[in-house]
Amino acid sequence: MTHYLIEFRFHGYAKYKIKMWVDEVNQRFGLKSKRAIPHITLAGPFTTDDETRLIRDFNLLCSNYSLIDFKVNGFGAFEDAKVIFLDITPSQVLEEFRWNLAQMLKPYCNLNKYDYERKYEFHSTIAMKLPDDKFEGIKLFVAGKDGLKFKHIMVRATLVKDQLILREYDFLLRRPLGRKLALDGEIYTHTLNLLNAYFEGSYNPGEYLSERIEIPKKSMIDNIKSVFKRSRIFVTSDFHLDHTNIIKYCRRPFLDTADMNKTLVQNWNNTINNKDTVYFLGDLAYGRGGRSTDYWLKQLNGNIFFIKGNHDESNEIKFHDNFILEYVNHKFFLTHRPENVPSKWNDWAICGHNHNNNLREYPFIDKENKRINISVELTKYKPVDMDFIIKQIN
């Protein structure tokens, strides 16, 4: 029978350090256990008859999260099971992610008893299935050590099928990867470069997380479709489709121009239905030899109100310089460049143009100046629901 597992795999120096500890314990106590990849189990092992739904739901749940952090807090032991492990202190987001994962899988997967429990023992195994004498010896050995104590970030979540990667979701690239791409060294190097940018403060995967959707017994995707039935209003800006240099200029998490174009269009159409209205604040496409603004507009769902940016050209589209949007007892001045907002305007302004290159002056939401930077780099590369913006400014 096929067995599945969902886990986090340590990376970088942490992975190297944990492997050193495992090797030292194995050598010192003569253990013959297989050298496993240092990881934290999030669900499983489990079985299911619906692998297609499993992959779909795994990708969908992960896409609702950004980077997830936790702490390694030294060593611990399960007395009954005779297991020595690294003790993991989860963040609230990691606890939520693990619990939502279990609830998502519950209707069609055969999980372990502990997967259904709200309180979950996060850990990374050092040695397991130990005889009593070696269990006590290793316990004393690790108790005399300073242990491993550090903060770490969950960069990817891994869906394993019979000990082989079936899918990985990369929280920096904001996309699922098949086994071949998950094991590709160049792609992983790109991920680590984005992680370095994150630590330097120059990478912004989104100033907010999309609203959490409670996971019912039915499939998550059915639940999300039901959310999209009503007509809604969205804002977004600065897609720069076909613009190769924007990937480097704004440190966008895409492999190349084709990957960027495909992801941005998919994100738009997965968010917007044809009843929705989108206020687009300029710069849809750009680049020598690139396809026209008219071409790209035809690929996108929704009723689009187009405010002209500094790169938009068309003989077919009706461009606007600005627009005043009244929504839920607020007035918003919509324009591409923030300097175009009238000096006497005292309500909120929504602008684009500045991307993520000056987040101090142009963050996603600037409450002091009542200004919102809707450039797509700050919004997880997809349009933003005005209901979400209202919640933030209130």
Q: What number is the average pLDDT over the span 35-62?
A: 91
Adjacency order of strands within the sheet including 175-178: 109-110, 39-48, 4-9, 156-161, 164-170, 175-178
pLDDT digit string, tens, across residues 318-338: 889 999 998 888 899 999 999
How far is Cα 189 from Cα 173, in angstroms, rounded to an integer?
11
- Which own/partner contact pairs does 99-105 have at CB distance under 8 Å and 24+ positions apart? 100/61, 100/215, 101/6, 101/42, 101/43, 101/61, 102/43, 103/215, 104/57, 104/61, 104/215, 104/220, 105/43, 105/46, 105/48, 105/54, 105/57
Is-cis flag, bond preceding 216, omega within 30? no
Rounded to whole angstroms, what are the CA distances from 155 to 28, 87, 176, 256, 271?
A: 32, 19, 12, 20, 24
What's 118's DSSP letter? S
SS3 state of residue 179 = helix
pLDDT of residue 36: 66
pLDDT digit string, tens, across residues 1-48: 899 999 999 988 788 888 888 888 888 888 876 666 889 999 989 999
Helix (H) or strand (E) holding 9: strand 4-9
Q: Where are the domains of the chain?
A: 4-200, 228-393
Q: Domain 228-393 falls in which CATH fold?
A: Purple Acid Phosphatase; chain A, domain 2 (3.60.21)
Place of tokens 């780099």: 377
pLDDT of residue 315: 78
CA gyration radius, the chain:
24
Nearest CA-CA partner of 261 in 280, 277, 281, 241: 241
pLDDT digit string, tens, across residues 207-246: 333 333 333 334 444 443 443 345 689 999 999 999 999 9
Residues 6+ apart with CB under 8 A from 150: 14, 71, 72
The reply to whether CATH 3.30.1280.10 applies to domain 4-200 is no
Query: How sure is the predictor about 385, in pLDDT bands with cuts at 50, 70 and 90?
Result: very high
DSSP characters for 233-276?
EEEEB---BT-THHHHHTT-S-SSHHHHHHHHHHHHHHH--TT-
Could you tell me the pTM of the whole model? 0.57
pLDDT of residue 306: 93
pLDDT of residue 224: 38
What's 229's DSSP letter? T
Arithmetic mean of pLDDT over the chain: 86
Strands (E), 20-106: 39-48, 68-78, 83-90
How far is Cα 322 from Cα 367, in angstroms, rounded to an integer?
21
SS3 state of residue 17 = helix
Q: What number is the average pLDDT over the span 164-191?
A: 89
pLDDT of residue 174: 83
